[in-house]
Amino acid sequence: MKVRPTVRLAAAALVASLLSGTALAETVLKIVPQADLKNLDPVWTTASITQNHGYMVYDVLFAMDSNLQPQPQMVADWSVSDDNLTWTFTLRDGLTFHDGSPVEASDVVASIERWAQKRSEGQAMMERMDELSATDAKTFTMKLNKPFGPMLQTLAAPTLPLVIMRAEEAATDPNEQVSEIIGSGPFVFDADAWVPGDRVVYRKFEDYVPRDEPSDGFAGGKVVNVDTVEWIYIPDTNTATQALQSGQVDVYEIPPMDLVPVLQADPDITVKVLDTLGKMGHIRPNHLYPPFNDPRARQALKLLVDQPEFLAAQVGNPDFETVCFSVFMCNSAFETDAYSEPYSKPNPERAKELLAEAGYDFDNPQPLVVMLPTDQQIIYNNILVMVGKLQEIGVNVDAQSMDWSTLTSRRARTDDPVESPNVGWHIFPTWWTGVNMASPITNQPLVTTGDPVSAWFGWPKDEEIENLRTQFLDAGTEEEQKAVIDALQKRFYEFIPYINTGQFLTPVAWRSSVTDVPEALLFVPWNLKKES
């Protein structure tokens, strides 16, 4: 069958019409995320990439504004009794899950109960909870046995946030991932378009009802001005940088530090630090197995760290680096370097002695399994320095390369790394957002219950630290709080639950076609606009 020229012309005109109309009208924001998204449950893991995914899909009860003050988000109003033991919250109108079902108080209760099992501030809150219940479809009540001062700050946790799921998903064991991603947030997760190792796609939730208040940090009205958000995973940092410069993508969440000056010089690109407190480099040993079940071995790791050297490898830009020995972050309310003096300078000779005292046999050295995330430049460079330091003192290092998402799955395994070296682990690197680290209540890796649910991966156990964390919660004055901070700092440097490698900032980069970016701790795609 032959197609007449007039038919061809008509078809071409139709295609042109479609391209100039609906197809081009859709606004797509393309972001290079910090890592590949493989784990979808923001309660099950503490991985930042999954936390960011959580902000896209789910909503929260309260949110922090740009001054880190809690503001209502899903909550319309609330009250607290005169004795500070009974809190009553009412949900606002218009809250709907992506499947069309209404958000109810029973969903909130189930979500709080699940989240609180995995988060340090949630655990502290639940320890004082006599009853958490839904009193009607839109109201839930907390009845405490003892006042819990940071209630609103806990419900507004800006990192590792309390996301509200449907009750059926929230009933999932917190040590298992939920099977379906249905939230009530401003974007819908497009499961069919998700290709691990390539891209994640989110669609605007047309039935989302923003708050009336102006955007302010994570708080205020979440007005969505784009139709689709695509996370495009580009593990090669040079390729990702070129994609931003050429306009193939709009945003680069954590550009490589060595190329930040190049991006800063580009008139079409904005480079900005959104999280001004910054992050802390972190190396986590496995407390369950030798040698790091012995504090002397963990002290040895700390004695191998020369923060300027680690920061130079991780960041390599003095404008974004801070040597810091404060457990609760430098430039924070509880900054102190007390008791850190023995670790202020590296001492590899003493580190080797301590490892030997902890039982490590340098004559017949057992391989120590170290996980290396090759697609996370800052973290990868960090752990490469540690691997080199360990090898210099004679440690047999089994350095295993993998992508970050694989690492975040594997670190949850409690297998013996000697018996199962391809499953278990001795050490892995990460970083923590400073806002979390700045308080004994929210500092997740400081939890030392030893419990696989409440303690973070590595599972340290120390009653003294736990008692001090409780004392901090009970401290009534700033003086009392600082006394507890001093005691915690002292115990930290005795017990060494983890190893800090230096404080740093990570700027975000976006093209000038993207405007009105919220002043939040991370790049969020609501309220902003993208020009064609």
Q: What is the pLDDT of residue 40?
A: 96
Q: Are the C-beta atoms of 220 and 65 separated by less than 8 Å?
A: yes
- Tell me if residue 31 falls in helix, strand or coil: strand
What are the residues whose beta carbons fall under 8 Å from the beta carbon of 386, sequence distance 6 or more?
A: 283, 301, 304, 305, 310, 370, 427, 429, 501
pLDDT digits (tens, 9 = 90+) for 135-147: 999 999 999 999 9
Q: What is the pLDDT of residue 13?
A: 38
> Cα(144)–Cα(417) distance, rounded to whole angstroms?
42
Vertex 274 angle, CA 273 and 275, to 5°? 95
Q: Are the C-beta atoms of 190 and 203 separated by less than 8 Å?
A: yes
Say yes or no to pLDDT of 117 above 50. yes
Mean pLDDT of the chain: 93
Q: Band of the pLDDT at 159, cuts 50, 70, 90? A: confident
Q: What is the pLDDT of residue 5?
A: 35
> Cα(502)–Cα(5) distance, rounded to whole angstroms?
69
DSSP state of 82: T
CATH number for the domain running over 279-504: 3.10.105.10
Q: HSE on the CB side for 428, CA within 13 Å?
A: 28
Mean pLDDT value across residues 460-479 = 94
> Cα(306)–Cα(202) distance, rounded to whole angstroms?
42
Q: What is the pLDDT of residue 476?
A: 84
Mean pLDDT value across residues 317-335 = 95
Mean pLDDT value across residues 125-139 = 97
Say yes or no to pLDDT of 451 above 80. yes
pLDDT digits (tens, 9 = 90+) for 25-45: 699 999 999 999 999 999 999
Mean pLDDT value across residues 368-377 = 95
Say yes or no to pLDDT of 2 above 80. no
Mean pLDDT value across residues 313-335 = 95
Strand partners, 229: 29, 202
Q: Band of the pLDDT at 388, cuts 50, 70, 90? A: very high
pLDDT digits (tens, 9 = 90+) for 495-513: 999 999 999 999 999 999 9
Q: What is the pLDDT of residue 322?
A: 97
Q: What is the pLDDT of residue 452?
A: 86
pTM value is: 0.86
- Helices (H), strands (E): how many in the chain? 17, 21
DSSP state of 279: E
The domain covering 40-185 belongs, at the CATH homologous superfamily level, to Dipeptide-binding Protein; Domain 1 (3.90.76.10)
Q: Helix 463-474 crosses helix 478-495 at what angle (to 10 degrees)?
A: 170
Say yes or no to pLDDT of 23 above 50. no
> Cα(208)–Cα(411) distance, rounded to whole angstroms?
36
Q: What is the pLDDT of residue 330?
A: 97
Say yes or no to pLDDT of 240 above 80. yes
Percent of the chain with pLDDT over 70: 95
- Tell me if residue 60 falls in helix, strand or coil: strand
The side-by-side arrangement of strands in the sheet containing 279-285 is 321-322, 499-504, 279-285, 427-433, 368-373, 397-402
Q: Residue type at 491?
A: R
Sole residue written with tokens 């190049």: 262
Mean pLDDT value across residues 430-440 = 93
- For residue 302, which of 310, 458, 336, 47 has the smallest C-alpha distance? 310
Q: How many CB atoms lie within 10 A of CB 202?
A: 26
Q: Which two tokens stand for residue 531?
A: 């020009």
Q: What is the pLDDT of residue 532?
A: 73
Q: Band of the pLDDT at 405, cuts 50, 70, 90? A: confident
Q: What is the pLDDT of residue 6?
A: 34
Q: Are the C-beta atoms of 348 and 304 separated by less than 8 Å?
A: yes
Q: Which two tokens stand for residue 254?
A: 């954590």
> Cα(184)–Cα(88) distance, rounded to whole angstroms?
22
What are the residues whose beta carbons fall under 8 Å from the beta carbon of 124, sequence distance 6 or more?
A: 148, 154, 441, 469, 470, 473
> Cα(194)–Cα(37) distance, rounded to whole angstroms?
9
Say yes or no to pLDDT of 18 above 90. no
Please report, for the chain, the start and end positions of each structural domain, with discontinuous segments joined by +: 40-185, 192-272+509-530, 279-504
Please give the CATH topology (third level) of the domain spanning 192-272+509-530: D-Maltodextrin-Binding Protein; domain 2 (3.40.190)
Q: Which two tokens stand for residue 34?
A: 């910090």
Q: What is the pLDDT of residue 25?
A: 67
Long-range contacts of 175-182, Cβ-Cβ distance < 8 Å, separation of 24 or more: 175/44, 175/412, 175/452, 175/453, 176/44, 177/39, 177/40, 177/41, 177/44, 178/40, 178/41, 178/43, 178/44, 181/40, 181/57, 182/97, 182/98, 182/99
